[in-house]
Structure 1
């Protein structure tokens, strides 16, 4: 497949899909390709011996167990670095992964997968093109990238398509023979896209990790979207199994509203620590089969509370789309229902409108939750309302409210409490 063959808009796996896999690793690229993603991105810098290393940052500090500048490494020392995968992505990925050389990427993926490679250092574009030529990679299967106009000119002079990153200057791009511009998502407008398309220039925006952002950008007319969570943004993330956290890896659409929480391998759970004053994480993979009428079952435990139990607990937000939810009062665009299982065993149901939560109903007479013990929670959504049952500790709360339908999106989190979730399933 060539870039010309892709239906527009298409999704580019930014850094290989950095919210799901160890970014810019061969192992991460293999997962992305195995998921059916057609385009993987690389950030390429020149090393001290003229080799080309693949890493986003100018230093190795964030992604490896070492420190120092990328440019100070040789090709040999580059392959001795350890990617600190478990620190960035949970315990499901082993440590000891190595950052790749660009030649390794071309050997395994060249002419097999579409590549979108950025010249990250100022002297990288020429050597990148040399490497592509040397490996016999088809120009039709590669989009180069750079923020520097000089790099874009070099790429075009040697017959390679290139994305001029950060630019909305359609007129200049046309003069230079550049067929792609790559503005940040917040600079995209329908007018920019229309002007670009009128002169044969395409628009690839970065970085898009939420579907509500994607939908607005597609409506504006973008041709490609860079995403750290490409499977979710492409729309293929639905899962309904009961062991969602058993692999202890980040799933498609598992995105931070306030934090990503962490995995607990001892009981195949995921949760938030009490040190998070308010925690909320999107579970974008958890798609109800009928978002207007469904049942959500999960096991929830409260390990620690930071205040009186009546004001703390585990939370479930059912929302109309995937706007982040960052209570209190800072979540414009978020609409739905917030269910709180409090530390005192009682259940509260809130209606959330434009990010503001209003209590609709509360149970009374609940039993204080024993720390470290899971409580089965069942939330049932119907055409006339919703009900919540918290095992034997909090009774059942029923609310007659249809302000927000459908509610296809699930967020899990905590309010001033350390909580864990497992056995999450919708039906």
Structure 2
């Protein structure tokens, strides 16, 4: 397959899909390819001995157990670095992974997978092209990238396609014979895309991890999208009616609204640690069988950390789409739906959320308070005309609300406030 064969728009696995796999590792690339992703991205920098290392940052500090500049490593010392994936990503990934050399990527994936390689250091573009040509990789199966016009000129002079990153200068790109511009997603407009297409130039934007962003950019006319969660952004395949927290692995669409949380192997749950704020995480992989009417069952553990237990809670936010819900910010544009609270004193609350601002619809004063370290069973029912919220582990009654302001509300966010909160057995029926 070549880039010309791909339907537009297509998704590029940014850093290999760094929200799902350890970024820029051979193991991560293999998973991305196994998931059916057609394009994987590399960030390439020149090493001290002229070799080419694949890593996003200019230092090895964030991704490995070592510190120092990428450029100070040789090809030998590069392969001795230890990527501590259990810390940098979690989700069951082991430590002991090694950052790849660009040559390794070409040997395993060249002419097999479409590659989108960025020159991260100022002297990398020429050696990258040398390596591609030495390995016999087809130019039609590669898109090079750079923020510098000089690199783009070099790529074009040697017959390689290139994305001019950060640019919306269609006229200059056309004059230079550059076939792609790569603006940041916030700089994409219909006008930019229309002008680019009129000049025979395609538009690839970065970095997009939410479907509502994707939909707006597709409407603007983009041809390609870089994403850290490419399986989620690419489509609706793989959405589930129940969680897989017991597997302790990240699923597509588990994205931080404010925090991503972590897995707890001691009881096969996922949750959010105690903090001094309100936290929320998108569960984009979850979807009810019927988005218009459904029941959501789940088990929640709330370990309060504040003196007033009514200020500590675990929450479920059901929203119209995957706009991030950031309750501590005062407002969250586009975050509309309903918020369900289990408070530390055992009481329940139902709120309507408009642009991230919650208004109480119903609240109870009943307990019993959850016992720290134990789980409470909750049930949320959504119909065309109303909502119902109850605890099924205790006879506390049901909060019933007649409200149809927002339908459907099929998108799940799980959250916490001033408490350690864990979730498990989240199931739609």
> Equivalences for 1:170-209 in 2 at 5 Å?
170-209=170-209
Contact 1:237 1:284 in 2 (8 A): no
TM-score scaled by structure 1? 0.98
Q: Is the 8 A contact 1:89 1:249 kept in 2?
A: no
Distance 1:207 1:90 in 2: 22
For 1:265, the equivalent position in structure 2 comes to 265
Task: Note closer, same or farther for the CA distance 1:91–1:225 as it changes in structure 2 (3 Å cut).
Answer: closer
What residue in structure 1 maps to residue 336 of structure 2? 335
Which stretch of structure 1 is more off in the superposition, 300-309 or 66-75? Answer: 300-309
Q: Does 1:251 align with 2:230?
A: no
Q: For residues 112-154 of structure 1, what are the alpha-carbon distances to aligned partners after superposition, in whole Å with 9 as ceiling and x for unaligned?
A: 1100000000000000001100111111100000001000000
Q: In the alignment, what sits opposite 2:214?
A: 214
- Give me the whole-angstrom Cα distance separating, in 1, the residues matched to 2:277 and 2:336: 22
Q: After the TM superposition, which residues 264-413 of structure 1 pair with which residues of structure 2 at under 5 Å, given as runs?
A: 264-328=264-328, 329-393=330-394, 394-413=396-415
1:247 Cα offset (Å): 2.4
Instruction: Give the TM-score normalised by the residue count of structure 2.
Output: 0.98
**Cα distance in 2 for residues equivalent to 1:215 and 1:305:** 40
1:45-97 Cα offsets, whole Å, 9 max, x none, are: 00001100000000000000000000000001000001110112225000000
Could you tell me whether the CA contact under 8 Å between 1:143 and 1:162 is conserved in 2?
yes
Q: Deviations over 1:207-227 (max 9, x none)?
A: 001111111111000000000
Superposition deviation, residue 236 in structure 1: 3.5
Aligned residue number for residue 76 of structure 2: 76
| Partner Cα separation in structure 2 for residue 4 and residue 269 of structure 1 | 44
Q: Return the alpha-carbon distance in structure 1 between the equivalents of residues 149 and 197 of structure 2.
A: 20
Deviation of 1:238 (Å): 3.6
1:399–1:238 CA distance, 2 compared to 1 (3 A): farther
The correspondence of residues 108-147 of structure 1 with structure 2, limited to 5 A, is 108-147=108-147
Q: Which moved more, 1:98-107 or 1:284-293?
A: 284-293
Is the contact between residue 44 and residue 55 of structure 1 (CA under 8 Å) also seen in structure 2?
yes
Instruction: Tell me, in whole angstroms, the C-alpha distance in 2 between the residues paired with 1:390 and 1:311.
Output: 19
Secondary structure class of the residue paired with 1:300: strand
RMSD: 1.1
Deviations 1:371-398 (A, max 9, x none): 0111111111111111112123443211
Q: 1:266 aligns to what SS in structure 2?
A: coil
Gap regions ≥5 residues in structure 2: none
Query: CA contact under 8 A between 1:196 and 1:203: conserved in structure 2?
Result: yes
**Most deviating of 372-381 and 35-44:** 372-381
Pair 257,81 (structure 1): closer, same or farther in 2 beyond 3 Å = same
- Give the count of matched residue pairs: 427
